[in-house]
Chains A and B, each alone.
Chain A
Amino acid sequence: MNGWLWAATVLLLALVPCGWVALRSSYVGALAGVQLAGTLTSLTLLLLTVGYDRGVYANLALVLATLQIVGGLVFARFLARL
């Protein structure tokens, strides 16, 4: 375990409060938790890229960062119709 992997582990643990908020809050509050979880996961993947010294993992972080924002917009669009 190096410093990068420890930082990634701490960010993974930070997903727990996001999941709690997503489960216990209103629609919009839950969406806020999901968005924050997506951001943290994307940063975690970036840290794992350096921690494991595998450059291709960085593409996963980029794809997730893009898709989680698109997903948030789609969620907002559909929740507005409820």
Chain B
Amino acid sequence: MIALALVWAGVVLALACCAGLLAMRDAIDKLHFTSAASVLPPILVCGGVIVDQGLGAVGLTAILVAVVLVLAGPAAIVAIARLERQT
């Protein structure tokens, strides 16, 4: 139950970020919502997977997915934002 609550919280946040991406006009504003979606929903969804599956193979892979998305996602967003600044 807690696992699904975490997952659905992540899904709702992802939907909110999609709505923000759709609503914003400026590219930097769109990147802001993309960056938020690469940090909060992965933590919640992967947390739900870990609560359900424990620290087995799937749980450890979920941790890796969350670490990759949370650490490298904003770095890619920064690189894309620099591109917007150049153009």
Chain A residues within CB distance 8 Å of chain B: 3-4, 7, 10-11, 14, 17-18, 20-21, 25-29, 31-33, 35-36, 39-40, 42-43, 46-47, 49-50, 55, 58-59, 61-62, 65-66, 69, 72-73, 75-77, 79-80
Contact = CB atoms under 8 A, between A and B. Distances in A.
A4 B34 contact: no
B8 A39 contact: no
Contact of A76 (B41, B69, B79): B79
Q: Is the interface of B mostly helix, strand, loop or mixed?
A: helix
Nearest to B44: A43
Given A17-B21, A35-B80, A69-B69, 4 more contacts: A17-B19, A46-B65, A47-B49, A50-B49
A66 B27 contact: no
23 contacts: A3-B4, A3-B8, A7-B45, A11-B14, A17-B22, A27-B87, A28-B84, A32-B21, A35-B34, A36-B17, A40-B14, A40-B18, A43-B14, A47-B49, A49-B61, A50-B52, A50-B53, A58-B61, A62-B61, A62-B65, A72-B77, A73-B79, A76-B79
B60 to A, nearest CB: 9
A66 to B, nearest CB: 6
B65 A61 contact: yes
Name which of B75, B76, B82 has the most chain A CB atoms within 10 A of its CB.
Answer: B76
Q: Is the interface of A mostly helix, strand, loop or mixed?
A: helix
B21 A39 contact: no
Interface string B43-66: 001100100110011100110110
